[in-house]
Every structure is written in C-alpha cells, then in structure tokens.
Amino acid sequence: MKLFYLICCLFVLGLTPGISQHHTFSESKFSYFTLKGNIKKAYKDDAITNAKINVNGGFYTTTNSFGHFSIKVKLGDLITISHKEFNTINYKVETKDDLFITVESVELQTIQTEKSQAKPFAKLMDSAKYYQTISAEKSIQFISESIKKSTAVKDNAQAFEILGDTYIYWKQYDLAITNYRISLNNKDLNSVQLKLAEAYFLNNNLVKSLEIYNKIDSKDLSNWNIIFKNEGLADVYFKSGKIKEALNLYKNALAKAYNFKIKVKQIDLNSKIAEVYKKMQVYLEAEKYYNKALTLAGKESKKRLIEEKVKVADLKNEVNNYDDEIKVRTSIVANIETELNVLSFANSSALTTQKQNYKIGNAFYLKKQYNQAVSYLETSIKIASDKEDLIVKKDATKKLSEVYSASKKYNKALETYKKYTGLVEALYVKKEQELSQAARFSKRLADKQSRITSLETDRQLALSQIELNSEKTKRQQLIIYSLIGGLFLLLLVAYLMFKYIKQQRLAHNLLALKSLRSQMNPHFIFNALNSVNSFIAVNDERTANKYLSDFSKLMRSVLENSEEDFIPLENEIDLIKRYTKLEHFRFQDKFDYNIIIDEAVSISEYKIPPMLLQPYIENAVWHGLRYRETKGVLDINIHLESVNLIKITITDNGIGRAQSKVLKTNNQKKHNSKGLGNIAKRVEILNKMYKDKIAVNVIDNPTETGTQVSVIIKK
C-alpha cells in the first residue's frame, strides 16, 4: 500500500499539467480532512466510550457509545488518545486512512488503519481521497471502482459520502446532495446529515437545509459537530435575513469553540460575527470581532491571516476610512509578496495582489489623491496582465480612466477608456469560453455520476435477487415487486402530470401578472404627462420643468421595480412619497397630506407588489379631493395590525364614491374601472400564488365624507 501511495505521488508530481511540485505538497500537507476511527476491547469486542481524542492543532472530541469518533486533522498532526482503561496513546497522522485501535490490556494496544488492513476497497478509497482536490474525474473514477469492490453497507455509505465531499469541493452541489442521500440510505450518520444540510445551503435550498439541521439531535453529536450544526443554522438564518437569530447562534457556537479549544472554528466564528455586525452597520462591534479573528489567524497560517485582513480592509472602505484601508491593504500586498513561495491564489480569489492594488488605487481615488491612485492602478493592470486576469484588468483600466477624467487629463482618460472597451469585449469572449468549458465539465461529471448510480442500482438489484433466490415463494414475491413497481410508475406519472399542471398554472399566473404590470405603467405615465401638459397650457414653464424633473425620478423608481412580483415595503413607501408630493404640487389649494409610519413597524421585513398603493392615492386625489370646495386632507397611515401583519390605510375626505360617479365622464369611468380592476386582478393572482398574503378593502370614510382604502400585508 505504501508503494501504491508513493506511485500516486510521483505520478501527480511528474505528469499532471499545471500543478507544481510545491503546490501539490502544500495541498496534501496543510488541508484539513476528517479522520474517522474506532476504539474497542479485544477480548469482548466491546466499544470503549468517552475516550478523549486531542489534536495538537486544537481540535477535541470523544468516542460515542459505539466507540466511533471523527475529528478534523491534517497530515503531520499528533493525536493524543486517553482513557482510564488503557495507557495514553500518541499517534502521528501520516495518511488519510480511518483509524482502528484494539485494547488487549491496560498496557497493550494495537493501532491499525484501513490501509494497513490491505483491503482493495480501502486502497481505492485512499486514492479517491488523495485526488479529491486535484482531479475530480480521477477521484470519481476511484470511487466508482471502490463501489464495485464494496462488500458491506458501511463501505458503500462511506464511498458515497466521499463522492459527495468531492462534488462539494468542485461546487457541484446538486450532485453532492444526491450522493449524501444515497450514503444515508445505506447508513444513517449524523455527520453525513450535517453535510447534506450544508450542501442544500450551498445549493440555495434554505428551507430544506433548515429542516435537516433542526432534525439532528445535538445530544448525539461530537463537540466538533455541535459547533458545525450551530454554525450551519446561523448561516441559513443569516442568508434568510434573520440577523438576530444568526447572531445568537454564531455566538453560541463561538462559546463552544472556546470551551472545546477548537481554534480554527474560533477564527471562522469571530469573522462571521463581525460580518453580521457589519450587515447591521454596528461597525465598532464588527471591528472588535475582526480584530479577534486577526489575532487568532496570525497564529494559524499566513493565508488565514491575509483572508481576515481583506475583510478588515473591506470594513474600512465601507465606513469611508480610506487611510486605514490603504494601510491594511498595503500590508496584505507585503504579506503576499513575502510568502510567494508558499502562497498561491487563483485569479478568482479576493487575495490576489492585483485586486489589492486595484482597491488601494480606488481608495486614493476616493481621497482625490490622483497621482497615488494612478500608480497603484497601473501596478494592478500590469500584474493582472501578467496573470491573465481580465476581470481585474478591466476594472482597474476603467477606474484609471475615471482618475484621469477627475484630474482633468481628458486625452488620457479617453485613451484609457478605449482600452477598457477593448477589455470588455475580450472578457466577454473569455467568459463564453469559460461557460462552455464549465458546461462540458459538468456534463462529464453528470455522465460519471449516472454510471455510479447505475452501479448502485445494479448492486441493490443483485442483493434483492439473492434474497429472492433464498426464498421458496420466488414467483409470488416477483409478482408483488412487479405490482409495487407498476404502482410506483403510476404514482410517478401522476406526480409528473400534477407537477406539469402546477407549472403550467404558475406560468399562466406569471404571464398574467406581467401583462397586468405592463398595463399599469402606460396608465400611470398617461396621467402624469397630462399634469405636465396642464402646466404648459397655462404657460407655467418653470413649474412644468420642475414637475417633469420630479416625475422623471418617480418614473425611474417605477421602472426599476416593474418586473418584480414583490418589492421591499420601504421602496414602495419611497415611491408613494414621490408621487403624493407631485400630486400635491399640482393641487396645493385642494388638499394637504400626511404619511405616518408607526415606529413599531419594521418596514424592511415586509414586501409589497409594486404600484399597489399609487392607484388608490391617485383615485383619492383625482376623483375625491380635487372636487372639494374647501381644502381637504389625505392621510396615509402604516401601523402594526398584529405580530406578523401590518395595515396600510389611505383615507381622504373628498366628495365620496357616490358623488364622484355622478361627476365622472364616460372616459373617466372607463379608465378608473380599468386601473382599480387591474389591481384587484393582481392581488387575486398573487394571493393564489403566495397563500393570501394581501387583503384590500375599500369603504366610505367612517368619520366624514370621502373614502378609506385598507391594505393588509403579511410578513
């Protein structure tokens, strides 16, 4: 086995294109992986529980009731294993093989790995792990061969788990989900359930990820996995916008990481807590946690330190502290250049020197120190050219053009901008090539996955056939299985038909919504332009110009939101403020208005269909308030109706609906009916799609003449 491992190393170092010897060594030595093991007694074959496993890198765990453990390690780590029933064992991690310890007496222990047991399956799994971060296709090939050699459910579960790990590394998250589920079908392990939850998260299926995390009982988890679960849950909450819940879980996980002395997670969690505070714009707290992560990262590795420095620099940029940002990024560049023999970053990484020089140049630009900005941007462009990083080269060239323009060097600005446009075209071509390559890569992996799934299916069928052959009632069982299969197919067909009908209905609803939204904009634009026309008609050119300027800003907001089913409530509030201001501008002598938002309402947590409120306000002004002989009032009130409901009321003391109908022309009746009918249809469709999210009610003003519109929205 050692000879096989040596041959693999020589093959990768000598023949694999694009991989230097040093880079391969760095990957294998410094990358963390999960070491699994088992401790048992030789004379009774009993498991040894609660044995303590410590790693010199800071990780810690204990064996469960079956004597199993799993722990994060890297090659070269020293593991210390202690228990009252045997003398302390020290073991140096030299391979990625699972570890088996047999205790014969207090003084005598035997340590073995899967590789030392010389199983064909174990050899293939070892090779699959080795190529996991080097070549996806080679790793998958070894796993495919290992499944053929698999003789136990445990082996099969391990093979599909490692296959899932491989797909996670190569960002094929849907395939990872498939293989983790197959692994769990063979053997249900909490560690694999956690990986499945993370895979769903990475694949943006937050609901399923949350469901799996909540299903896992923390009592059955190791210390590492308890932290992993809490961190994963926090990630889901953070991405879902539930900031407070995420913060509490991150802090809980961090406390456990300190308690269990797991240093890597201490860095990760301090950094993530800082990101939460940054999102909340609590910048002092964010900086405090970033500094903690920096201190810990400095003791871990140069790469980890640089990663945290980049986050600190981004924070400085966000708070407009450009001097400190420049200092941090300058130290990042120095760190990278000092460690060039050890560190190597892909162009997609945020840690490259070309990106950092570009951001330093941008900071100087924002400080209006144009000469320094030019120097760093030119450095960024040169490095990006050497490393064929078209994205950074494009961005830096564009920024350089802006710097020249700001410093009134217009010829250079124009010349640089022309270079920028050329880079945009080159980048477009490169992106097309990369997408084509990615598609081919994904197809190759999908083809290999299909063959592996077929192997698993064949294996299951073979096992079923063996069981059937051992039974006397073979024909009866075959008939039963056939009936079950036929029923399954019928159910599958019914499910597919149901899904197809549901998709068709959804497509129809979406098309209807789009059609209704497209009708709203011409209606709204027509009415607004009539207002401009009225100002021009009375030779009030200045007022018309001002109105038209405000109208253009409003139109920008309307068009930006026109393609969405729902927009943030704060965007809709901003839109109606602009619109009401315009109408008041025209009818100042007819009404005043008030927009009141209850402090208890967190408007960032609610969403509303775009242009839902505007037609009701328009109706109140044009068909109610403008016909009053005295000045009226338009009240727009947003308040909390219950825990997850808000109520928006639009109340006017105009002439009322009955009197308005009397005064309307035939054309006005047609347009008003069309506008309000449009809203009613949109609300009806959205409620079908999103389960009664919106309720609209129009009544006469309960206190005086006029109309009151109530809109209730769920969180």
Q: Give the pLDDT band (50/70/90) at residue 23.
A: very low
**Tokens for 266?**
């201490």
- Whether 67 and 14 map to the same domain: the answer is no
Higher pLDDT, 250 or 260: 250
Which of 360-369, 433-442, 676-685 comes out lowest in average pLDDT? 433-442
pLDDT at 8 over 50: no
Q: Is residue 689 part of a domain?
A: yes
DSSP string of 364-387, one letter each residue: HHHTT-HHHHHHHHHHHHHHHHHT
Mean pLDDT across the stretch 209-221? 89
Mean local confidence (pLDDT), 541-560: 77
| Burial of 302 per CB tally in 10 Å (0-12, 13-18, 19+) | middle
Residues 538 and 585 in one domain: yes
**More confident: 617 or 152:** 617
Instruction: Give the pLDDT score at 236.
Output: 93
In this predicted model, what pLDDT tens digit does every residue of 282-327 receive, in sequence order?
999 999 999 999 888 888 778 888 888 898 889 889 889 999 989 9
Same domain, 23 and 38: no
Beta-carbon neighbour count of residue 634 at 10 Å? 25
Whether residue 6 lies inside any domain: the answer is yes
Domain membership of residue 695 (yes or no) is yes
In a domain, 562, yes or no: yes
User: Percentage of the chain surpassing pLDDT 90?
Assistant: 16
CATH value at residue 106: 2.60.40.1120
Q: Which strand (E) or helix (H) includes residue 640?
A: strand 632-642
CA 50 centroid distance within chain: 37
Residue 51 lies in a domain: yes
Between 229 and 557, the higher pLDDT residue: 229
What range does the domain containing 684 cover?
509-714
Cα 70 to Cα 38: distance, rounded to the nearest angstrom: 9
Do residues 86 and 15 both lie within one domain? no
> Are residue 1 and residue 114 in the same domain, yes or no?
no
* pLDDT for res 282: 92
pLDDT of residue 679: 74
Residues 17 and 57 in one domain: no
Give me the number of domains the chain comprises. Answer: 3
Confidence (pLDDT) at 1: 33
Q: Are residues 682 and 621 in the same domain?
A: yes
Q: How many Cα atoms are found within 13 Å in the side-chain-facing hemisphere of 208?
A: 15
What confidence tier does 423 reach under pLDDT thresholds 50, 70, 90?
A: confident
Reported confidence tier of residue 512, pLDDT bands at 50, 70, 90: low
In a domain, 654, yes or no: yes
Mark whether 22 and 44 lie in a shared domain.
no
Among 560-564, 567-571, 657-661, which stretch is predicted with the lowest mean pLDDT?
A: 560-564
Question: What local confidence, expressed as pLDDT, does residue 5 receive?
Answer: 34
Residue written as token pair 């996806």 = 136
- 478 or 406, which is more confident? 406
d(CA 412, CA 402) in angstroms, rounded, equals 10
Angle at 16 between CA 15 and CA 19, to 5 degrees: 125
**Quick one: pLDDT at residue 239?**
92
In this prediction, residue 701 has a pLDDT band, given cuts at 50, 70 and 90, of confident
5 lies in the same domain as 62: no
What is the band of 12 on the pLDDT scale with cuts at 50, 70, 90? very low
What is the rounded CA–CA span in Å between residue 234 and residue 244?
A: 10
Residues 2 and 105 in one domain: no
| Mean pLDDT to the nearest integer, 469-482 | 71
Cα 177 from Cα 198, distance rounded (Å): 9
Residue 4: its pLDDT value, please? 33
CATH number at residue 609: 3.30.565.10
Instruction: For residue 392, give every residue at least 6 positions away whose Cβ sits within 8 Å of its Cβ, in sequence order, or none.
Output: 347, 352, 354, 355, 358, 380, 384
The answer to whether residue 61 is domain-embedded is yes
Q: What pLDDT shows up at residue 621?
A: 87
Measure the CA–CA gap between 167 and 169, rounded to whole angstroms.
Answer: 5
**Of the residues 77, 103, 118, the one at which a domain ends:** 118
Q: What pLDDT score was predicted for residue 531?
A: 67
Residues 644 and 709 in one domain: yes
Q: Which of 26-40, 80-94, 171-185, 463-477 has the weakest average pLDDT? A: 463-477
Q: Which of 118, 134, 154 is the last residue of a domain?
A: 118
Mean pLDDT in residue range 8-35: 44
Give 394-413 pLDDT, tens digit per residue. Answer: 898 898 889 889 988 888 88
pLDDT score recorded for residue 170: 86
pLDDT by residue (tens digit) across 345-381? 777 788 888 898 989 999 999 999 999 989 999 998 9
pLDDT of residue 477: 72
Confidence of residue 20 (pLDDT cuts 50, 70, 90): very low
In a domain, 127, yes or no: no
pLDDT band at 13 (very low <50, low <70, confident <90, very high): very low
Query: Among 137, 68, 16, 64, which Cα is nearest to 443's?
Result: 137
For residue 650, pLDDT over 90 is answered with yes
Task: Kindly state the average pLDDT of the residues 188-201.
Answer: 91
Residues 689, 643, single domain; the answer is yes
pLDDT of residue 393: 86
The single-letter DSSP state of residue 349 is: S
Q: Are strands 591-597 and 632-642 parallel, antiparallel or unpaired?
A: parallel
pLDDT at residue 110 above 60?
Answer: no
Q: How far apart are CA 647 and CA 8, in angstroms?
A: 67
